[in-house]
Amino acid sequence: MRPAAPATIKDVARLAGCGIATASRVLNKSGPASTEMRERVERAARDLGFNFNAAGRALQSRKSMTIGCLVPSLANPVFAEAVQGVQSELLGSGYQLLISCSNYDDDADNAAITTLLENNVDGIIATMVAPNRSTALMQTKQRDIPVSLMFHDPIDGMVTAYVDNFVAAAEVARRFAAFGHTRVGFLALRFSTSDRSRNRYAGFYKQCRTSGLAQPSLIEISEEDAHHPERLAAILASYPDVTALFASNDFLAIAVQKATRHLGWQVPQDLSVVGFDGIEVGRLLETPLSTIETSPEAMGRQAAQSLLNALQGLGLKQRPPLPFSFREGETLAAPNPKRTDDDRVAAQPSSVHPAQDQNQSRTNP
Amino acid sequence: MRPAAPATIKDVARLAGCGIATASRVLNKSGPASTEMRERVERAARDLGFNFNAAGRALQSRKSMTIGCLVPSLANPVFAEAVQGVQSELLGSGYQLLISCSNYDDDADNAAITTLLENNVDGIIATMVAPNRSTALMQTKQRDIPVSLMFHDPIDGMVTAYVDNFVAAAEVARRFAAFGHTRVGFLALRFSTSDRSRNRYAGFYKQCRTSGLAQPSLIEISEEDAHHPERLAAILASYPDVTALFASNDFLAIAVQKATRHLGWQVPQDLSVVGFDGIEVGRLLETPLSTIETSPEAMGRQAAQSLLNALQGLGLKQRPPLPFSFREGETLAAPNPKRTDDDRVAAQPSSVHPAQDQNQSRTNP
DNA sequence: TTGTAAGCGTTATCAA
DNA sequence: TTGATAACGCTTACAA
């Protein structure tokens, strides 16, 4: 037996003994119908196991009831949680989620948006490498498709669900200062392609100056470095006078903790570390991570809410940044006055990462 | 200016000065066309910025070029990574990913499948609470829609991308035995709703008996317990003679490490812990987690490949289980002979979790 | 209150 | 090699 073709509204109408329009009106509760007709149609639909065909509907109504979501990667729990937030907010809304990942690639970002557009998504939620100069995103304006960003600080006229990275990062500098640190660093992955990372650095930098700290060292590392504790250790060792490090995300911060063990340093005695994001595992570490706690899920939810509002014709409105908080943890303490440069040099491995002064000057705000 | 309606194939045909059919043939390379015609059409399409409308296509071709994916939650990195694997495998295929989460709820599972079906997905990739008794999944058979499961051990006639949970868990028992443990436990979350968890327990149980260990204690805890180290500590303390614990996933294993600190126990000296999954952070812990290392991403990829094959008419074929490996880590060691029951009792908090003997007997394989 | 029919964008059939 | 034209399943004027 060949696969039974799903029942169409035509089948329902025939079984109910009425016109297609009537069936449609009843099933959609979109127009008048006598009680008797209503019952006949509903019964027929039930008996046939009728379901609307989304394609037919989309074609006619010019609404796909689908929302496109683009994130760099689902392997990063921060984005995965955000998507989870989007998903749960969309749950009862009738909208489906079409998903796409760019692997942090600008071209892939644009290609993905284009594909989503081809699929007639009614709205888009995205975190991109460069939303402000995405040609594909421009098309959404023309087609009047609402876009809601996640994680990005506000840019252009785009609506975004975010935490104020600048302000949050400044808080870290303030904490460093309060503990008496003077030489601090900012550790980043993919610094050049992440506006968030750059804004965090900017806020951190600004507050460092304001609080009278030395200009923070900007330490940009590769994915490779981050995955090899020895390599990361070597890099850390090349910044001997830094006593507190602000990592641009929690994974990096945890990797730093691991790397310090290679150097025989103690966190926070020999080096204070603060992360960003507030991922759950940070709490479970033997030395719980001090970090800026955010809620990616909340960002996803807010982005979805904004979009849903826009889709209901309520307008696309920018909301205030989402709250963050400083999670105390145990990786931030006063610098160890006993530790000398000599200790550091002694512990320093042979392979050394060159200090990247050019980077620092390039990226000063 | 009102939103410009996207160009249709009709517009292309008009601009190229040809019939719609010709335009379609050229654009799809689906039929003959003179070189000149080809050029005219392609040029017109380019000038208009023409893109196919997925809805029109889907309606006509009965193919949505969309694949539905259902997982319990994206907040769990294991599933998130799997979806990432699916996503990357689908990348060049022309298929889009429609995603849905059930939050580990059986009803939501079924509802989600139904919704995916309404959206005319061409295939489904899923991890569900109970795929074997999902009425919604039955519909896929009727409609001849291929389904590829992830994580589930093989059931019925369904194709699945998985690691052999039974065999992998047996390996843990073997390791415990090799280190001289005799009283061991299995710690599980959501045991009753996870076939994976149950299969792991079954394999673990079997090998424990084979290796001459005592019958393992089955310790089932709640989400709440898992998030509160004190509570988990109390539970652990109520199993004073267990010297090695197999946690049904890495997060649980990490939570155990954290909880033991509340009891003043050392891992692995006072308690050995082995996890399951092999998540990345496990490596970064001060005491790196010993665990069964799997690749959720590979599962996603394989599931997607299988589905893609089926969609190409190559048939839906079950592949052998994906490999796993035992990651040594540092949380597994020989039991500490010096530790006595008295020590344990002394360390035991006041609030005590009742041993759940009924669970153990209920779930014996 | 109901039904007929047009049309959404596409592909496929069939003549020309 | 081309181009009308008929579906595909649905919504919605417009008529009855």
pLDDT digits (tens, 9 = 90+) for A94-110: 999 999 999 999 999 99
CATH at B111: 3.40.50.2300
The answer, yes or no, to whether residue B338 has pLDDT greater than 50, is yes
Lowest mean pLDDT among A327-331, A345-349, A357-361, B149-153: A357-361
Lowest mean pLDDT among A311-315, B255-259, B339-343: B339-343
Report the residue from A74, A98, A143 with minimal CB separation from B83: A74
Q: What is the pLDDT of residue A264?
A: 92
Q: What is the pLDDT of residue B342?
A: 47
Q: Among all strands, which nt has the closest C1' to A40 (CA)?
A: C2
Q: What is the pLDDT of residue B214?
A: 95
How far apart are the C-alpha atoms of B133 and B146, rounded to whole Å?
A: 17
Nucleotides of strand C under 7 angstroms from a protein beta carbon: 1-14
Global pTM exceeds 0.85: yes
Q: What average pLDDT does this structure show over B70-83?
A: 97
State how many domains chain B has. 3
If DSSP codes are grouped into helix, strand and coil, which group holds residue B322?
strand
Average pLDDT taken over every residue of chain A: 90
Q: Chain B: nearest CA to A54, how far in angstroms?
A: 5
Q: What is the pLDDT of residue A9?
A: 94
Identify whether A353 is part of a domain. yes
State the SS3 of chain A: CCCCCCCCHHHHHHHHCCCHHHHHHHHHCCCCCCHHHHHHHHHHHHHHCCCCCHHHHHHHHCCCCEEEEEECCCCCHHHHHHHHHHHHHHHHHCCEEEEEECCCCHHHHHHHHHHHHHCCCCEEEECCCCHHHCHHHHHHHHCCCCEEEECCCCCCCCEEECECHHHHHHHHHHHHHHCCCCCEEEEEECHHHCHHHHHHHHHHHHHHHHCCCCCCEEEEECHHHHHCHHHHHHHHHCCCCCCEEEECCHHHHHHHHHHHHHHCCCCCCCCEEEEEECCCHHHHCCCCCEEEECCHHHHHHHHHHHHHHHHCCCCCCCCCCECCEEECCCCCCCCCCCCCHHHHHHHCCCCCCCCCHHHHHHCCC
Could you tell me if A170 and A279 lie in one domain? yes
Q: What average pLDDT does this structure show over A160-184?
A: 97
Instruction: Determine contact, residues B79/B50, Cβ cutoff 8 Å.
Output: no
For A111-164, how does the pLDDT look when each residue is reduced to its tens digit (9 = 90+)? 999 999 989 999 999 999 999 889 889 889 888 899 999 999 998 889 999 999
Q: What is the pLDDT of residue B156?
A: 84
Average pLDDT taken over every residue of chain B: 90
The answer, yes or no, to whether residue B346 has pLDDT greater than 70, is no
How far apart are the C-alpha atoms of B121 and B113, rounded to whole Å?
A: 10
Q: What is the pLDDT of residue A2?
A: 52
Instruction: Determine contact, residues B170/B199, Cβ cutoff 8 Å.
Output: no
Could you tell me if B126 and B261 lie in one domain? no
The distance (Å) linking the CA of B59 with the C1' of D9 is 7
For A237-261, how does the pLDDT look when each residue is reduced to its tens digit (9 = 90+)? 999 999 999 999 999 999 999 999 9
Could you tell me if A221 and A354 lie in one domain? yes
DSSP, residue by residue, B237-301: HT-TT--EEEESSHHHHHHHHHHHHHHT--TTTT-EEEEEE--THHHHSSSPPEEEE--HHHHHH
The answer, yes or no, to whether residue A90 has pLDDT greater than 70, is yes
Could you tell me if A223 and A143 lie in one domain? no
Q: What average pLDDT does this structure show over B353-359?
A: 36
Q: What is the pLDDT of residue B5?
A: 81
Which of B69, B84, B297 has the highest number of chain A CBs within 10 A, making it the mutation to test binding with A? Answer: B84
The answer, yes or no, to whether residue A351 has pLDDT greater than 90, is no
For B87-97, how does the pLDDT look when each residue is reduced to its tens digit (9 = 90+)? 999 998 999 99
Could you tell me if B221 and B350 lie in one domain? yes
Interface membership of A88 toward B (CB under 8 Å): yes
Q: What average pLDDT does this structure show over A268-290?
A: 94
The answer, yes or no, to whether residue B9 has pLDDT greater than 70, is yes
Q: Tokens 């267990």 label which residue?
A: B242
Could you tell me if A244 and A342 lie in one domain? yes
Q: What is the pLDDT of residue A111?
A: 93
The dihedral region occupied by B98, where left means phi > 0, alpha psi between -120 and 50, and beta the remainder, is beta
Q: What is the pLDDT of residue B127?
A: 97
Q: What is the pLDDT of residue A139?
A: 84
Phi first, then psi: what are they for A160, rounded to 5°?
-145, 145
Percent of chain A exceeding pLDDT 90 equals 79
The distance (Å) linking the CA of B16 with the C1' of D3 is 13
For B266-286, how does the pLDDT look when each residue is reduced to its tens digit (9 = 90+)? 999 999 999 999 998 899 898
Q: What is the pLDDT of residue A344?
A: 45
Could you tell me if B314 and B257 lie in one domain? no
Interface membership of A56 toward B (CB under 8 Å): yes
Instruction: Determine contact, residues A161/A324, Cβ cutoff 8 Å.
Output: no
Q: What is the pLDDT of residue A350?
A: 36
Could you tell me if A156 and A172 lie in one domain? no
Q: What average pLDDT does this structure show over A21-30?
A: 93
How far apart are the C-alpha atoms of A278 and A325, rounded to whole Å?
A: 9
Q: What is the pLDDT of residue B3?
A: 58
Could you tell me if A222 and A244 lie in one domain? yes
Instruction: Determine contact, residues A237/A300, Cβ cutoff 8 Å.
Output: no
Q: What is the pLDDT of residue B361?
A: 31
Q: What is the pLDDT of residue B264?
A: 92
Identify whether A180 is part of a domain. yes
Q: What is the pLDDT of residue A299?
A: 98
Identify whether B202 is part of a domain. yes
Nucleotides of strand D under 7 angstroms from a protein beta carbon: 1-14
Report the residue from B6, B99, B286 with minimal CB separation from A99: B99
The answer, yes or no, to whether residue B339 has pLDDT greater than 60, is no
Identify whether B264 is part of a domain. yes
Structure tokens at A283: 């709490």
The answer, yes or no, to whether residue A85 has pLDDT greater than 80, is yes
The answer, yes or no, to whether residue B348 has pLDDT greater than 90, is no
Interface membership of B161 toward A (CB under 8 Å): no
Percent of chain B exceeding pLDDT 70 equals 91
B55 contact to strand C (CB, 7 A limit): yes
Instruction: Return the amino acid letter for A139.
Output: Q
How far apart are the C-alpha atoms of A298 and A82, rounded to whole Å?
A: 7
The residues in A 316-355 lying below 8 A from B, measured between CB atoms, are none
How far apart are the C-alpha atoms of A239 and A185, rounded to whole Å?
A: 9
Q: What average pLDDT does this structure show over B151-170?
A: 95
Q: What average pLDDT does this structure show over A61-67?
A: 92
Q: Which residues contact A101 (CB under 8 A, 6 or more apart)?
A: A70, A71, A72, A73, A74, A112, B84, B87, B88
Residue nearest C5 (alpha carbon to C1'): A21
Q: What is the pLDDT of residue A318?
A: 97
Percent of chain A exceeding pLDDT 70 equals 91
Instruction: Determine contact, residues B361/B218, Cβ cutoff 8 Å.
Output: no
Identify whether A4 is part of a domain. no
Domain that holds residue B31: 9-52
The answer, yes or no, to whether residue B347 has pLDDT greater than 60, is no
Sign of the four-CA dihedral B187, B193, B198, B199: negative
* Cβ pairs A/B, distance under 8 A: 140
Q: What is the pLDDT of residue A362?
A: 28
Q: What is the pLDDT of residue A190?
A: 85
For B200-226, how does the pLDDT look when each residue is reduced to its tens digit (9 = 90+)? 999 999 999 999 999 999 999 999 999
How far apart are the C-alpha atoms of B196 and B82, rounded to whole Å?
A: 15
Could you tell me if A119 and A233 lie in one domain? no
Could you tell me if A224 and A342 lie in one domain? yes
Q: Among all strands, which nt has the closest C1' to A20 (CA)?
A: C3
- Banded pLDDT at A3 (limits 50, 70, 90): low
Identify whether B364 is part of a domain. no
Q: What is the pLDDT of residue B141?
A: 87
The distance (Å) linking the CA of B13 with the C1' of C11 is 15
How far apart are the C-alpha atoms of B209 and A195, rounded to whole Å?
A: 56
Identify whether A327 is part of a domain. no
Could you tell me if A348 and A205 lie in one domain? yes
Q: Chain B: nearest CA to A312, how far in angstroms?
A: 17
Identify whether A173 is part of a domain. yes
A chain contacts of residue B117, beta-carbon cutoff 8 Å: 51
The answer, yes or no, to whether residue B179 has pLDDT greater than 60, is yes
